[in-house]
Amino acid sequence: MGSTGTDVGIVVLILGITYALMSEGLWGAALMFFNVIFAGMIAFNFYEPLALQVASNVSFAAVYADSVCMMLIFAISLGLLRVATDSLAPTMVRFPKPLYELGRIFFAAGTACITVGILLLALEASPISKKVLGYIDYKAEPPFKMGLDRRFLAFFHYSTGYPFARYGSGYSDTEFPNTYVFDREAKWLLEHQQARPYGEGDILGGDAAATPKDGDAAPAPEGSAESAPGGNAGRPGPGIPGGTAGAAIGLAPTNP
C-alpha cells in the first residue's frame, strides 16, 4: 500500500472513531477526550519498566514487550478512567444546540486523533519493518503530514518537563534543568526505527550518529538517570531488538 493509501486508511479510522464518539454527546465526548489523554500519559510513563520486566522474565515475548505493554497499560487505564468518570458524572449535561453540535465534533475528533497517534506509536515500537505499513518512518508524519505520532510524543515530552516534572540532579539542559524528561533529545522515532529488525537502512549509524550537531545534547552515559524510564534520551524501548532489555537477555546490543 502506498503512502496515499495508508494515509487515507488512517483518516478513515479517525473518521470512524469520531463518528462513534459523537454519539456520546458533548459531555461524553469531552470526558473521553481527557480520559484518552491521561491514559496515554500513564501508558508512556510506565510501559518501559513493565516491558523490561517482561523481557527479563519471559524471553520468548521480549520482542513484543514494548508494544504489548504500551497498549495493555493504555487499554486498562482508559477502561478504569471511563468507569470512574461514568460513576462521577452519570448523567448527560444539557448545552445550547450550537455549542452541543460543535463541541461533540471537536472533542470526538480530538479523541480520535490522539488515539490513532498512540496506535501508530505502538506499531512503531513493534518488531516489524523499519517502514511501518510500507512507508511510515521517522520523518513520514502520517497522515498527510499531520504527524499525529510525533505530536503526542512532543506533548508527553512537554508534560514531563513542566506540569508533571520529576526533579533530579546531573542535567545541564537549559529548558528543563535538573528534570527527568522523556525523550530529551527527541530521538524516540529515530531509535525505534533503527531498532525494528526488518528492512534495510542504518538510521543512526556512521559519523552522523556519532557526532552531535550544533545545539544537540550529548548522549546520556550508560547507567545515568537520563536513561531511566520516563526520563530517557530516546533510546529504543526495552523489549524490541536493540532495546535495553533485549540486550540484557542477548537479543541484540543496545545502540550507542
Instruction: Provide the pLDDT for residue 31.
Output: 94
Full residue range of the structural domain in which residue 82 is found: 3-248
Instruction: Provide the pLDDT for residue 169.
Output: 61
Instruction: Provide the pLDDT for residue 209.
Output: 41
Instruction: Provide the pLDDT for residue 204.
Output: 67
Please state, in angstroms and rounded to a whole number, the distance separating the CA atoms of residues 43 and 78: 10
**Per the domain annotation, does 240 fall within a domain?**
yes
**Per the domain annotation, does 91 fall within a domain?**
yes
**Cα dihedral 232→238→240→243 (10° resolution):** 60
Q: How many Cβ atoms sit within 10 Å of the Cβ of residue 174? A: 7
**Per the domain annotation, does 254 fall within a domain?**
no
**Per the domain annotation, does 253 fall within a domain?**
no
Q: Which amino acid is at 48?
A: E
The H-assigned helical ranges of 89-206 are 97-124, 148-161, 188-195
Instruction: Provide the pLDDT for residue 186.
Output: 86
Q: Is the dihedral of CA 107, 186, 181, 68 positive or negative?
A: positive
Q: Are 192 and 236 in contact (CB under 8 A)?
A: yes
**Per the domain annotation, does 135 fall within a domain?**
yes
The C-alpha cell that represents 58 in the structure block? 519471559
**Per the domain annotation, does 95 fall within a domain?**
yes
Query: Taking CA 87 as the corner, what is the angle to CA 82 and CA 92, rounded to the nearest 5 degrees?
Result: 85
**Residue 184's closest CA among 192, 175, 193?**
175
Q: Are 242 and 128 in contact (CB under 8 A)?
A: no
* Distance set, CA 175 to CA 8, 157, 185, 205, 224 (Å): 37, 12, 12, 28, 19
Cis peptide before 143 (omega within 30 of 0): yes
Instruction: Provide the pLDDT for residue 216.
Output: 44
**Per the domain annotation, does 7 fall within a domain?**
yes
pLDDT along the chain (256 residues), means of 10: 87 97 94 97 95 91 93 98 89 88 97 97 94 90 94 93 74 70 88 88 54 42 40 46 42 38
**Per the domain annotation, does 13 fall within a domain?**
yes
Domains: count for the chain = 1
